[in-house]
Structure 1
């Protein structure tokens, strides 16, 4: 029977042979008698030492080898590679020039030269060298040179040219996996989605069963927000390869944008079957259930996400908000306390926790968190608004007015402040001033009248307020 792959015995023989070669080399160094080592044997010895990070031994071996085979370009390339590893770039370049005279058809010559130019920060030279050789070489060699050139442009931060280079490569070698993987990222990075669609459509016409081409087509459509078309492309990708986890992930995202939450959940569940569970997938499923107002399921998946990522404070806010929609304040508070333990300086957590504490009558505690919010970001109108509202709702009306004046001094007369001031003045018995304030607010920001009712709906029981609003509506 004829096998293409090496058997255990063959591996064993290879290992014995290598050990034999290393022993021969030791004998040669020590001046003891030894068998003749041919060029191929030297290459194996050099590779062995190089792979095991024994650079001194590798260098010694390559120097002895070159003495014996001075016209071997392969050995000169090996020595150049070792010189590059030890950062001796000038010497490496001189050797490469010498190797080029002996054999200019070895692609490694150009790849090593490129490495030297990059190490010396000479990107232009590296790019020029590879561009010239791409015209000379064909087949796999051209593919390798184009991949190398893409890396040079990346290193040089010529990002548009990275895309051009990968596109050229795929026009020449349409099923190259490395290029297909890379161009997906660079399409998104450069935003060249239309070109990517044309390129991958033509690849698919020739190779209809290439799942990476279908996937890249999907991401390009997604980049243009054409989510229906993106979903179609991903579906082809997963029909060809039903364990293609990234296609399920992206398809889930596209369905979420289309607000097709059931379909999104289905494909994200599929992702969980074929790949290692990830917090972002659980979180996305939670988000879908939240959008469908299925808060128990939403919390279940947010929890699963938080088990995988226990330091992600945002997840605890999401769990809390799912409780808040059901007016389950106690549990919302527990989640928010965890979020704040992880991230004390977060404005939203402090504000939200204050709001929940107000709901259960823990007024003093609530005010502490509103004060924290103002301290964290003194320029935030939202933080001031909550502090003023909190003080007003718990009956500290004078203090609410004082803080409102301070807020206006710090960040100016925001629309919400004008309405709040009107309500506070009226409830302090300064009705005339309050009405003047309310009229100003209605003139400047009529759409924001709801700020009045969110602070104190009972204000609408004042005849003078109702008359003013009616008069104002008639005018408009």
Structure 2
């Protein structure tokens, strides 16, 4: 095999050739470092370990190769062994900041974040290069995030930006901290100050617009996104956010224009297609609305909002057959989505397909949607189907999530009376009228045959007299 020495991957190619032939070739320590870095970057841990082993055999005094060894030990959660290697390296080079960075990494992986911070601060005191300082400030900021000390994190992420004003990761982290602390005013102040010195920073304008959007100052949000677009007229995110603002301002035609620009700048996104559909629906242009809803699910069949929008579109127009057709397609694509099953149940209920509606509500509950409405709707359908025992079991489960709920108690009272379980019926009905007499209509609606029963009438009327 012929190698070109001009090939920047030449050491890597030689190394992999060596592994295949079992020949032992010599590499200088920096070549080994590049090879190991390549394997770690690509998640090839076994090859990285092999390169470290061979590297240390050829360069046993290399500090950097030992530091790579520490990285592998941390990946394998061998923290004690990593500490031992670092202690030996510290004895050899007590002023090597990289050793402290790795020590901090080992501490962080063990959730010893304050100790990791203290160790990183030592590394910062040793550093004298702005680029390294910025990386270290970012590491300290992240450790403070792990401790939920957002104010301290902000301090260090700001230091990152003082070192490098294009460190947009730090800028995002600052805004994230302010958001978490619900300090939108402080975020806006900081971003405006940052923009005073960096007026063409599209990322900062974008973040500022999102802050104004959060506090519902849509005029200023719109202006901020305009400046983001002026700074970079290919910034897809700014057009998307501007579209959302224009929707809030009910300027649907302009919102559509902005969303359409994103389709021209980049591959179509399901979000933009969906929003265009909603805008056309608000404008009363139903054909275009449904056209874009369908494009949304063509683009991303797993986007539940797309299928839900189509189903609700037809449901609002009382076209339940078409609504059922599309929600069935959604359920076939993702049968574990409770939102799909809830809609499936609702549409079947409207079509009076009660068995399918009950199946939909049951599946919704199985998938963790424990809303009161879901329990009640399923219970009512079981009553309509004459499945009284199943309805009681369903409502008892509901009562675990919603104890002392009048709507549940009226239904349980009516069910037990219907099954001639008089004591249970009296117990639940008395509970129900005690909790809320205004829901007593449930008995006449769901159990019309019980309205003339003297005991039922007496419990309800006595309660009405007492409340008056």
TM-score, normalization by structure 2: 0.69
What is the aligned partner in structure 2 of residue 174 from structure 1?
165
Matched with 1:163 is 154
Distance in 2 of aligned mates of 1:96 and 1:212: 41
Secondary structure of 2:59's counterpart equals helix
SS at match of 1:254: helix
Q: What CA distance in whole angstroms lies between the structure 2 residues aligned with 1:404 and 1:110?
A: 69
**Partners of 2:219 and 2:285 in 1: how far apart?**
25
- Corresponding residue for residue 101 of structure 2: 111
Matching of residues 3-402 of structure 1 within 5 Å: 12-15=5-8, 18=11, 41-49=28-36, 51-52=38-39, 53-66=47-60, 75-87=62-74, 88-101=81-94, 104=95, 107-135=97-125, 137-341=128-332, 342-343=334-335, 346=338, 348-358=342-352, 365-366=353-354, 369=357, 373=361, 380-381=372-373, 384=376
| RMSD over equivalenced CA pairs, Å | 4.7
CA shift at 1:62, angstroms?
Answer: 3.2
Deviation at 1:79, TM superposition (A): 1.4
- How far apart are 1:51 and its partner, in Å? 2.9
Equivalents in 2 of 1:374, 1:81: separation in Å? 54
In 1, Cα distance between the equivalents of 2:13 and 2:261? Answer: 53
Note closer, same or farther for the CA distance 1:184–1:434 as it changes in structure 2 (3 Å cut): same
Aligned length: 405
Task: Label 1:138 to 1:245 Cα distance change in 2 as closer, same or farther (>3 A).
Answer: same
CA distance in 2, matches of 1:243, 1:444: 70
CA distance in 1, matches of 2:451, 2:12: 99
Asked if 1 retains the 8 angstrom alpha-carbon contact of 2:209 and 2:222, the reply is yes
Distance 1:31 1:375 in 2: 63
Q: Deviation per CA, 1:33-55, whole angstroms, max 9, x where unpaired?
A: x9xx8xxx322234325534342
Q: Say whether the 8 Å CA contact 1:426–1:434 is kept in structure 2.
A: no
Per-residue deviation, 1:236? 0.8
Q: Deviations over 1:137-190 (max 9, x none)?
A: 352221121112123333445444333321232244333233224334444334
TM-score by length of 1: 0.68
In our comparison, the structure showing a higher alpha carbon Rg is 1
Partners of 2:294 and 2:240 in 1: CA distance = 20
Return the offset for 1:16: 8.8
1:270 is paired with a residue of what secondary structure? Answer: helix
* Separation in 2, partners of 1:247, 1:441: 60
Quote the Cα distance in structure 2 between the aligned partners of 1:17 and 1:339: 52
Q: Cα distance, 1:209 vs. partner?
A: 1.0
8 Å CA contact retained: 1:340, 1:349: no
For structure 2, list consecutive stretches of 5 or more residues without a partner in the other structure.
40-46, 75-80, 386-409, 417-424
Contact 2:131 2:163 in 1 (8 A): no
- Secondary structure at 2:153's aligned position in 1? helix
Partner of 1:469: none
Question: Partners in 1 of 2:97 and 2:187 — Cα distance?
Answer: 29
Alpha carbons of 1:191 and 1:444: their partners in 2 closer, same or farther (altered >3 Å)? farther
Once the two structures are superposed, residues 260-312 of structure 1 have per-residue CA deviations (whole angstroms, 9 ceiling, x without a partner) of 33332222222222233222222222222333333332222221222233244
Separation (CA, whole Å) in 2 of partners of 1:388 and 1:19:
69
- Answer whether contact 1:21 1:45 (CA < 8 A) is retained: no
What SS does the corresponding residue of 1:208 show, helix, strand or coil?
coil
CA contact (8 A) 1:422 1:437 kept: no
